[in-house]
Amino acid sequence: MLYTISRSPYAFDLLAFLRIVQPSDELLLLSDGVIAGLNGSLFENMLSASSLVLYALENDIIARGLFDYFSNNIAIISYNDFIRLTEKHIQHMAW
């Protein structure tokens, strides 16, 4: 399953989210969700310790001025890559 998080990690329960994910799931951070990918943050540490394959939308990282502070553990992708992810996963859940 593909999950997307578009809200700031301060606005949702990341622990509750991590309890439902499965080893084959993937996560895309977009909009304010990219804040969860800041290098060394509690949120980034929690996501990196999970079984999720992690992605973040490049345009949203750049728009928030976070590119230099973003984790190397999260793949930065384009809109075209986002479309490929949605084609790969039949199910999608937005958080």
**What CATH number does residue 7 fall under?**
3.40.1260.10
Range of the domain at 71: 2-94
* pLDDT for the residue numbered 6: 97
- pLDDT at position 95 over 90: no
Closest CA to 48 of 57, 58, 36: 36
What percentage of the chain carries pLDDT values higher than 90?
95
* pLDDT for the residue numbered 56: 98
* pLDDT for the residue numbered 50: 95
- pLDDT at position 64 over 90: yes
CB of 68 closer than 8 Å to CB of 42 = no
Q: Total structural domains in the chain?
A: 1
CB of 48 closer than 8 Å to CB of 22 = no
